[in-house]
Structure 1
Amino acid sequence: MSCFMYDVMGGTVDEPDPETMRRVLAGLADADDEHPDVSLTHESGWCLGAFRGGLLVRENPDDDSVAPGRMREAAREEVLRLFGLLAAGDITSVEALPWQR
């Protein structure tokens, strides 16, 4: 499966491994109003965006029939776990969580 990440400054990382995901997520310490998040996008179009305050957003910008979901105060380890599931293409496990609409 193919995926890529955007770091907090908008740089792209193709096929990130778990350590790279951890490093990109740690970059949220440098987030500001112009660059507030990091994200991981799977080739299916599904995306997870993580923000410094713990907000995690799940969406598929290619599919208007699916409303974005939000998870507040997501712990860093949980975000890394979900990034790993999405990178592996396990969309079902990511979708099964209690996302707020």
Structure 2
Amino acid sequence: MSTRGTPPCPPARRATFPTSGNCGATSPGAASPPHTGKAPPLLTLLGWVAWRQGDTVTASHAFAEALDIYPGYTMAKLLLDGIRNECDPARLLAMYRAAAAEFAASRPDLDTL
């Protein structure tokens, strides 16, 4: 094959990904995987499901990863504290449901489909 007349390839550049919200890269211009800001809620959900199934090791890792990405993610912190304090996840769920019902009852203006 002849390479005559073909332009040279552009120089390779380092890929950068957009960051989202407060959960982005630690320094401007640093590369971070796309959608990193969406990881804490998904990791927290994974951790919750694992905990409900009795897998506290996986749950602890998922909550800790969520907090590594976004240290201010309160739900992951609360659930990780629940595991560390050996709470029963079923009892914790009952408390959350009771608090949600109390809140909904105090706000008749909310649509509670």
Q: Which has the higher contact order (CA 8 A, sep 6+)?
A: 1
- Higher relative strand content: 1
Q: Which has the larger radius of gyration?
A: 2
TM-score (norm 2): 0.29
| TM-score of the two chains, using structure 1 as the length reference | 0.31
- Which structure dedicates a bigger proportion of its chain to helix? 2
